Amino acid sequence: MDENLNEKEIQELEEVLNTKIYPGTEILKDVGNYHFVKNGGGNDSRVLVPQPTDDPHDPLNWSPMWKGIAMGCATMLSVTLNLGPLANAPLFGDYMKEWNCTLEEAVQFTGVTILVLGFSNFLWVPLAATFGRRPVMIFSTLICAVSSIWRAQATSYNSFMGAAILNGVAAGPCETLQPQIIADIIFLHDRGKYQTLYFTMYFGSLMVGPIIAGSMAFNLGWRSFWWLNTGLLFLSLIVSLAFPETRYHRVYDSNPRVAPEPLTQPLETGSQKGKTDPNAIEHSEQDKDSLGSAAKDGGLAPVLTHQDPWLGRGKPSKAQFRLYQPFSKDQVKVLLRELWVPWYLHLFPIVEFASFAVSFTASGFLVANLSETQVFAAPPYNYSAQTIGLFNLAILAGALIGLFTNGPWSDWVAAYFTKRNGGIREPEMRLPAMIPYVFILIIGTVVMAVGYDDHWAWQVIVIVGWGCLGIQVAALPAIASTYAIDSYKPATGSLFVAITVNKNVWGYGVSKFLTPWAESSGFKVPILVNMALIVFFCSTGIIFWFWGKKMRGMTKNSIVHRL
């Protein structure tokens, strides 16, 4: 829904389009005399959602180079902060020897980190909303580097566990910051691609971590991996200094029927004023008279066509490279509000759907990660940590397939249903894209579960089973979370707190029950029960296909749309 439209204009559009316009509903075509900012001219032009301002420093207006720099920094943060926590799997045997602990106790190095990581976002997301994305990126990376040094030098089980907990606290932004940045700088029609990129790189780092850790432990000892991890974190810290602040308060003209003043004044960040530009549109008195006549004829009230003079040519201001954004008394309210909004969002059915869909599809991959040493280090396989780590390449290859198929696929599906709906986009139109990936998930999980217990050839388990799990984990969480973002974009950060806490609590549960359950009953029962839960929660998308818009209508006056 275009934020530049007032209540009266929305009602007029609803009458003409014969549909209710709730938050999340987007008009992707001009209607009557209502004209929206597009990404170019000609028949292939798209209405841009959100609508950018005329500010060259508005992140939506940044040039492709600056958007690429911002997204590159965000992606590196997601990868480096996330590389260590789940890299432990091939190292469990080394930890058992080093600390004289059981496999179940060694697995808790991963489980506890996952649990703490989720809840740490109750702190990081309010800080990002109050002080900006940039300081969160810098300080979280610095603390992660400290925790990595601690891990490398730990001399006892409890000391290493303390480092794992600090790692979980510091790594929280790897789960929430990039989705916020995507919502800050990327338009709706490309959001599915970038969300898929985020989940692919996020889970990809979890897949690469064990590969590197297993090889380094085999050749150089397990502590060498944590020194490498420390170096990567300091490199990420240096790169993050190039990241411009993307948090931006977008102010629109409350009376778009009045012709804009000539753009002559310099722009300040967050302002609606602009700079002189030869592409800026000036309206003659004759134009205004013709627009007024259209209103008298009983048609739609006219709105002047708006061309954004800075679209694709903007750049960050110097202020957007400050260590943190200025703090005001009003931001105290923002900080306090962000502390409780994630809890409030759990009352929203769409957020709950996204939370459980992301949580359980992620657990499909987590099961493979936590079980790899338990299966392949034991007879009849007896593989080394290095070999077990390399098996994760199959999951990574699957994730890359998910990246290159789901991004274009989910956006195409949404665009197809938008065209059938006369140019009106509803967030629910993205949901059918989940269907093929649910079947891929079932194939991968069944192959893994049965293959484990029946000791199938590793090629079948790893290439087919794990490969399919890699495909689905890059696709299904991206589709479900993008649906929730499209529905409640202003609350993207808080929304991902709700998703992350749900996901990581269940991840901690999987780390607790999988090993002892598999030791007593085999792998088929726990893994297939987990698969049944994944299919169930993904299948609830059918409910939202039919009644999701009605549910959005029930929350249309919520505070989350005014964040």
CA distance to 79, 351, 489, per residue, from 407 (Å) = 19, 21, 19
Contact 493, 125 (CB under 8 A): yes
Residue with tokens 């292939």: 44
Residue 424 parent element (H or E):
strand 424-425
Task: Give which of 460, 480, 506 is closest to 367, Cα–Cα.
Answer: 506
Q: In this predicted model, what pLDDT tens digit does every residue of 502-527 receive, in sequence order?
A: 888 888 888 788 888 988 889 999 99
406 CB-near residues (< 8 Å, 6+ apart): 192, 196, 433, 437, 474, 475, 478, 479
Angle at 105 between CA 99 and CA 108, to 5 degrees: 115
Contact 331, 127 (CB under 8 A): no
pLDDT for the residue numbered 384: 87
Q: In this structure, what token pair is assigned to residue 422?
A: 């006369």
- Give the single-character DSSP code of 556: T
DSSP string, 444-512: HHHHHHHHHHHT--HHIIIIIIIHHHHHHHHHHHHHHHHHHHHHSGGGHHHHHHHHHHHHHHHHHHHHH
Residue with tokens 């903007």: 314
Q: How many residues does the chain have?
A: 563
Single-letter amino acid code for the residue at 118 = G
394 CB-near residues (< 8 Å, 6+ apart): 462, 463, 466, 467, 470
pLDDT for the residue numbered 344: 87
Beta bridge partners of 314: 62
Pairwise CA distance, residues 311 & 37, whole Å: 9
Q: Please give the model's pTM, rounded to 2 decimal places.
A: 0.75
Task: Give which of 449, 488, 476 is closest to 541, Cα–Cα.
Answer: 476
Instruction: Point out the residues of the chain with pLDDT beneath 70.
Output: 1-6, 32-35, 38-45, 250-308, 327-329, 563
Pairwise CA distance, residues 550 & 294, whole Å: 34
Pairwise CA distance, residues 268 & 249, whole Å: 12
Residue 247 dihedral angles phi and psi, to the nearest 5°: -70, 130
Contact 380, 185 (CB under 8 A): no
Residue 425 parent element (H or E):
strand 424-425
Single-letter amino acid code for the residue at 544 = F
CA distance to 190, 258, 328, 419, per residue, from 416 (Å) = 14, 35, 45, 5
Decide the pairing of beta strands 26-27 and 424-425.
antiparallel
Q: In this predicted model, what pLDDT tens digit does every residue of 66-116 receive, in sequence order?
A: 999 999 999 999 999 989 887 887 888 899 999 998 888 888 888 888 888
Query: Which three-class secondary structure state does DSSP give residue 26?
Result: strand
Q: Can you state the angle between helices 173-185 and 188-220, rounded to 10 degrees?
A: 150
pLDDT for the residue numbered 282: 39
Q: In this structure, what token pair is assigned to residue 440?
A: 């891929």
Query: Which three-class secondary structure state does DSSP give residue 102?
Result: coil
pLDDT for the residue numbered 201: 87
pLDDT for the residue numbered 237: 95
Beta bridge partners of 425: 26
- First and final C-alpha spacing in the chain: 15
Contact 490, 249 (CB under 8 A): no
Using CA atoms in the order 191, 193, 195, 199, what is the torsion angle rounded to 10 degrees? 180
pLDDT for the residue numbered 360: 92
Pairwise CA distance, residues 295 & 8, whole Å: 14
Task: Give which of 325, 324, 314, 323 is closest to 57, Cα–Cα.
Answer: 314
CA distance to 32, 129, 148, 479, per residue, from 482 (Å) = 30, 20, 32, 5
pLDDT for the residue numbered 306: 54
DSSP E strand boundaries for 20-82: 26-27
Half-sphere exposure of residue 74: CA atoms within 13 angstroms, side-chain side = 27
Contact 117, 85 (CB under 8 A): yes
User: What radius of gyration do the chain's Cα atoms show?
Assistant: 25
Single-letter amino acid code for the residue at 527 = I
Task: Give which of 26, 38, 9, 51 is closest to 255, Cα–Cα.
Answer: 9
307 CB-near residues (< 8 Å, 6+ apart): 37, 279, 280, 281
